């Protein structure tokens, strides 16, 4: 209970002369009452005990620099997909950096099982990374992959109908239940991305003028 915590902190500050740092979301502390009335307990405690307060803001630029240092050597085609990862996180990540790290580790483990020559294809890895990060970050918010897919179908049909794998396969991939990687690699090999026929020279010249 908040009163016991604040009482304990007050005791060690005043009686034990212990310097204490409190890291907290003050908005959540202030509005914990069931009656929805503002809780004045913390306010009175703060005025009496807390000497200095600091507001901490996210430093996105520094964070993405450290992210790049950590993962640039682990992610295939990193220079291509970093912008996709960042934009997808800003759109779907709910500012939860822990989920981003978990998703990135999952993505690395997942792509280790995919043949390297497929990951060398720029178009394929762009689509794969965007779809993996979007589905995974949305899934980590509500832990219901069926709900995630249904929401995308309703609100972002262009994305939903361009999924490179069947929804049943994506469900298993995102929930870490997929292990048929031989079949997956065979499926990837049959994707239109890897089966486009080169136009004959006469076809290229047909509309030359």
155-179: per-residue pLDDT in tens?
Answer: 999 999 999 999 999 999 999 888 9
pLDDT exceeds cutoff 90 at 102? yes
Distance CA 124, CA 20 (A): 52
Cα-trace Rg, the chain: 25
Q: How confident is the model at residue 45 (pLDDT cuts 50, 70, 90)?
A: confident
Residues ≥6 apart with Cβ < 8 Å to 4: none
pTM: 0.73
Output the pLDDT for position 14: 87
């Amino acid at each position: 209970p908040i009163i016991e915590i604040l009482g304990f902190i007050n005791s060690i500050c005043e009686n034990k002369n212990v310097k204490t740092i409190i890291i907290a979301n003050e908005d959540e502390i202030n509005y914990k009452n069931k009656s929805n009335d503002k809780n004045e307990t913390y306010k009175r405690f703060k005025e009496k005990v807390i000497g200095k307060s600091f507001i901490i803001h996210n430093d996105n630029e520094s964070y993405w620099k450290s992210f790049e240092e950590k993962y640039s050597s682990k992610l295939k085609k990193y220079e291509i997909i970093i912008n996709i990862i960042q934009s997808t996180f800003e759109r779907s990540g709910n500012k939860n950096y822990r989920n981003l790290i978990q998703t990135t580790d999952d993505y690395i483990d997942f792509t280790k099982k995919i043949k390297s020559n497929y990951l060398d294809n720029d178009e394929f890895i762009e689509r794969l990374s965007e779809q993996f990060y979007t589905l995974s970050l949305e899934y980590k918010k509500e832990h219901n992959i069926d709900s995630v897919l249904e929401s995308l179908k309703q609100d972002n049909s262009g994305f939903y109908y361009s999924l490179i794998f069947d929804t049943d396969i994506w469900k298993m991939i995102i929930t870490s239940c997929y292990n048929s990687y031989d079949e997956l690699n065979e499926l990837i090999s049959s994707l239109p991305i890897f089966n486009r026929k080169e136009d004959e020279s006469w076809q290229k010249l047909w509309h030359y003028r």
